Amino acid sequence: MLYELKSRIQSHTLAPASPKGCQRQAMTEPDVGLINLTPTTRPPSENGPSSRASRSPSRSLEDDTTTASADIRPFRKGWAKGERANFLDEAYHGYQAARTRGTHSVADYMTSTVNGYCARFTWWLDPPKMPSEEDLDMDDDSIPSFLLAQKAARIRRISVGIRNYLDRLSQRSAPITLMTSKQIEKDPVASLIANIGGAKVGQRRTRTAYQLWSMSNFKTALKGEVDNTVSLAGIDPQKDRIGVVQSQTQAAYDALPAHERQKYEDDSRREQEELKQRKKDNKWMPQQLSPAETLLALDKLPHSLIALFDGLRALTGWNFHVYYSGPDPRAGGQIATLSLHSGVDRSPVPADFPTAGGTEGLARRRLVEAAIGDYALRCFSTADRRAACLPDVALNQAAPSFLAWRPPSWEGALQLVKSSTTLVDTQSSKRKKSSDSQQGPRKKTSPPAADNSTQKDNKQAPAHVPSKKKARHRHPSSHKSGDGDDSSDFDIDAESPR
């Protein structure tokens, strides 16, 4: 009876919805009276896959696909190339963000990613074959029967392959992250910086001169010769090929003229001195990334830091606001200001800094962006901006958008705020003094001229109160300096006018 109940439970499943190209076969109708067990609570079968595979969002639950599944082998490492690799690389940052929100978000994101993969590359074409327009227009009725029998297994293989690919990307880190506990204690931020920057952010050991030469010359000068040697000698390419690479690379480097080797020997010696100095200073600093690598690091930065700031906010009870600015590689080196915020206000529907305050909040945020960007214009020259551009992007000559929110003079704007604040403080003190004088017997302590002056001030005071409120809500670019000077207090590049 226990075996019969177990079989009935295994046959009772739920079929999640899938988009076009990934639709599933209809599930067997459950028996009436059985407990509705979801896949997360259903015990795994004895002959079925493990519980880890059962949580895959694209897992097939049909029992009649066991034979077809045996013919479908998992993807090997490096299976995604070309457009498939680009698709998964674009999905990586979303996967990182989902990991910070928990397992349910990861499962939902994986389902969306697998569905997107099937819609773009189909589920029945094996990589690296690319689908044609006819393949993308096909439905289940047009697909051969033997492929339909393998549908569930193929979707499961795609799901596992995508998950493994994204996991490898998230676990890939620079050699600096492989530190001992004492090294991490001395420099706890090194691992975080290396993880954001990627695998090429630092070097734990120096490279020899021939290794530096091979980085730019191996593929063009030696790879074909090494492949022929491995093929003719019958060498195991997985185990013994590295020895052939090292010996032939060293021999080719030694055959170079002395003046060509000198450059790589100087670079190797420089790396040794830098490593020695870092060890002496007991501190690690990364090398600047290329524009393409910088762009990837900036895209990854919010997903890597938001969990840190949320944790610090929970630890201290404080809000955290981080602004960072510089030449944007994607925008042709134009100065951009980005920000990251952790914390919400006390409104009935709590809002964070980028969304709180309505029109006044927008003006407040724009003013801060203008202040940060205004300073960044002082820090990067035209040559710096040109060096930050991607290879196929020209230098952007347009003015940054935050300049529209910059006051004509920061000092003038500060003086305006000070004068408004002083005016209100004076008015408040005079009103308070007038109320205190009403206590006790009235005494005339000032001549009539002073009374007229006081009355004149009291008449003028209410006129200044709304002017201060207007200054608060006024567009930052409309602030005028006290002396009427609209000139900037520093020079900006010609291509970045205010």
Task: Please give the residue that has the higher pLDDT: either 97 or 469.
Answer: 97
What's the mean per-residue pLDDT of the chain? 72
Terminal-to-terminal C-alpha distance of the chain: 82
Q: Which residues partner with 321 through β-bridges?
A: 341
Please give the structure tokens belonging to residue 457: 């001030």
Q: How confident is the model at residue 284 (pLDDT cuts 50, 70, 90)?
A: low
Reported confidence tier of residue 240, pLDDT bands at 50, 70, 90: confident
Q: Is the pLDDT of residue 259 over 80?
A: yes
Residue 372 reports pLDDT greater than 70: yes
Q: How far is CA 323 from the centre of its chain?
A: 14
> Which pLDDT does position 430 carry in this prediction?
53
Domain boundaries, the chain: 16-24+39-171, 205-287, 318-426+460-498
Q: Which two three-digit tokens encode residue 40?
A: 């997360």
136-169 pLDDT, tens digit per residue, is 888 888 888 888 899 999 999 999 999 999 888 7
Average pLDDT for 329-357: 91
Digit-coded pLDDT (tens) for 290-303: 898 898 888 888 88
pLDDT at res. 296:
85
Mean pLDDT over 412-425 rounds to: 70
Q: Please tell me the predicted confidence (pLDDT) of residue 333.
A: 94
Which of the listed ranges 139-148, 219-228, 314-323 does the model predict with the highest average pLDDT?
314-323
Question: 61: pLDDT confidence band, cut at 50, 70 and 90?
Answer: very low
pLDDT at 431: 52
Q: 63-72, 157-166, 405-414, 458-467: which range is least confident on average?
A: 458-467
Pair 393, 330: CB distance under 8 Å: yes
pLDDT value of position 441:
47
416 versus 283: the higher-pLDDT residue is 416
CATH code for residues 205-287: 1.10.30
Q: Which helix (H) or strand (E) holds 323?
A: strand 320-328
- Report which secondary-structure segment, H or E, holds 461: helix 448-473
Determine the Cα–Cα distance for residues 403 and 409; give it in Å rounded to an integer: 12
What global pTM score does this model have?
Answer: 0.45
- What's the number of CA atoms in the CB half-sphere (13 Å) around residue 290? 7
Concatenate the DSSP letters of all residues of 378-421 into one string.
HH--HHHHHHTS-TT-PPP-SPPGGGGG--S-HHHHHHHHHHHH
Which helix (H) or strand (E) element contains residue 455?
helix 448-473
Are the beta carbons of 187 and 283 closer than 8 angstroms?
A: yes
Q: How far is CA 237 from CA 37, 125, 249, in A?
A: 49, 28, 17
- For the stretch 172-199, pLDDT in tens is 544 444 455 555 555 556 667 666 766 4
